[in-house]
Structure 1
Amino acid sequence: MRIDKFLKVSRIIKRRSVAKEIADQGRITINDRTAKSSSEVSPNDTLVIKFGNKTLTIRVKELLDTTKKDDAQRMYEIVSEDYERDYKNE
């Protein structure tokens, strides 16, 4: 499954076009390799996604073509969620 579709179906990112844009900006890695929107994701892959001041690391558990809201979290597990501190405002 393509990374942009996985991020949308798993509801990590709400729109596929936004997921595509983030991937094509080089802000997503799959197993320590920079991903493009067309990069393939498989179970047990580790994804690192950079959103502004937040970095989300997840492990892919399963791939589903469609999900209901309650089933979306079955697709991945959060490994870590890190926030950069804004030292300018302290």
Structure 2
Amino acid sequence: MSLAFDCWSLGLESCSVIGMRLPRLMTGDPAAMREAQRMVSEKVEAAASLQWKLMTGTLGTTAPSVLGASVAHYRKVVRQNHRRLRG
């Protein structure tokens, strides 16, 4: 049940971050370009970091532990963006 809640929370938090980013991106100004570049680089970095954790066994050895650690990994990144965009 906890994993299901974590997945649900990740989806909700992600939607919130998307909602905060869209108005910034829609302006089309230089700040919007920086935000778009930051968004893409963060996504690449988060995916590469997660892949490294998977290859080194940091995420665990069972499917549930890997899934739980993966969701926690992405929630951390999304939470950081939420704080940054909110402030």
* TM value normalised by structure 2: 0.27
Larger relative strand fraction = 1
Larger relative helix fraction = 2
- Mark the structure with the bigger radius of gyration: 2
Structure having greater relative contact order (Cα 8 Å, sep ≥ 6): 2
